[in-house]
């Protein structure tokens, strides 16, 4: 499976990364090299093998259902590039 420039641009769009035509051309080569290299996994017989979901088998821990944190709106927005009255500010999204 190899990717063309349009696929690179489509994936970049999905990943929300602006990519110029020239960059897409370079990335196409690099991505194809990596994808060609991982192609060797097709040679492994994985018939009947369960995919790994956790390296250490443990039961999911249950926490006591109590309020132990919160009231930190100021802390949460303090690193935002733009904030007002403890809200994140974004460009207009609804006309």
Partner 1 sequence: MTELTKLTLAEARDGLKAKDFSALELTDAYLSAIEKAKALNAYIADTPEKAREMAKASDARLSNGSAGPLEGVPLGIKDLFATEGIHTQAGSHILDAFKPAYESTVTANLWADGAVMLGKLNMDEFAMGSSNETSHYGPVINPWRVTGSNRDLVPGGSSGGSAAAVAAFLCAGATATDTGGSIRQPAALTGTVGIKPTYGRCSRWGIVAFASSLDQAGPITRTVRDAAIMLTSMASVDDKDTTSVDVPVPDYEAAFGAGVSGMRIGIPKEYRVDGMPQEIEDLWQQGIAWLKDAGAEIVDITLPHTKYALPAYYIVAPAEASSNLARYDGVRYGLRVKGDDITGMYEKTRSEGFGAEVKRRILIGTYVLSAGYYDAYYLRAQKVRTLIKRDFETVFHDGVDAILTPTTPNAAFAPGEITDPVQMYLNDIFTVTVNMAGLPGISVPGGLNADGLPLGLQLIGKPFDEGTLFRAAEVIERAAGRFTPQEWW
Q: Which residues bind partner 1 (CB under 8 A)?
A: 1, 3, 7-8, 11-19, 27, 30-31, 33-35, 37-38, 40-42, 44, 46, 49-56, 58, 60-61, 63, 72, 75-76, 78-82, 88, 90-93
Give min distance, CB of 73 to partner 1, in A. Answer: 11
Half-sphere exposure of residue 5: CA atoms within 13 angstroms, side-chain side? 8
Give min distance, CB of 85 to partner 1, in A. Answer: 16
Give min distance, CB of 71 to partner 1, in A. Answer: 13
Nearer to partner 1, 25 or 34 (CB): 34
Round to whole Å and give the CA distance between 5 and 8.
5
Round to whole Å and give the CA distance between 42 and 27.
23
| Element (DSSP H or E) covering residue 10 | helix 5-14
Task: Give the other-Cβ count within 10 Å of 24's Cβ.
Answer: 20
């Amino acid at each position: 499976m190899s990717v063309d420039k349009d696929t690179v641009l489509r994936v970049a769009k999905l990943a929300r990364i602006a990519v110029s035509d020239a960059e897409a051309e370079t990335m196409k080569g690099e991505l194809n090299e990596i994808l060609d290299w991982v192609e060797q996994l097709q040679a492994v017989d994985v018939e009947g093998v369960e995919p790994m979901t956790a390296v250490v088998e443990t039961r999911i821990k249950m926490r006591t259902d109590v309020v132990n944190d919160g009231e930190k709106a100021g802390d949460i927005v303090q690193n935002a590039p733009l904030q007002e009255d403890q809200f994140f500010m974004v460009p207009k999204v609804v006309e």
